[in-house]
Amino acid sequence: MRHVWIGLSLVLGLGLLELGCKDACQTATDRLEARFEECNFPIVTSGAAAATVCSAADGELLQCNADCAESASCEALRGTDTQGAADYGKCNMDCK
């Protein structure tokens, strides 16, 4: 379960970063990347993605995901704090 939430955040955040989003999306992906680096998760990007438009809804979702990551402990993000990981997952699922 812990890997699912970590993977979800990274896919959402870094995936949109690779897609060339700007403004709210870029800010959120920068925040996610900084948080995961702070917790010593390796950030790996590979290949080039096609450029796309990042909608306001995409930006809002990513900002919410970044808020969740920033409020979670590194242990919750790693899954070693099971209650924290569950709370982090719920936080992400509540993002709309």
Provide the residue type at 95 as one letter. Answer: C
Quote the pTM value.
Answer: 0.71
Identify the pLDDT of residue 54: 85
Between the alpha carbon of residue 30 and those of residues 22, 35, 52, 74, 83, the distances in Å are: 10, 9, 18, 17, 26
User: What mean pLDDT comes out for the span 71-88?
Assistant: 96
Tokens 């890997």 identify what position?
A: 3
pLDDT per position as a tens digit, 3-58: 555 555 655 555 544 555 458 998 998 999 999 999 998 877 776 655 667 899 99
Q: Supply the DSSP symbol for 72.
A: S
Q: 24-38 and 56-71 helices cross at what angle (nearest 10)?
A: 20
Average pLDDT over residues 71-84: 96
Rounded distance, CA 42 to CA 39, Å?
9
Query: Is 50 exceeded by the pLDDT of residue 66?
Result: yes
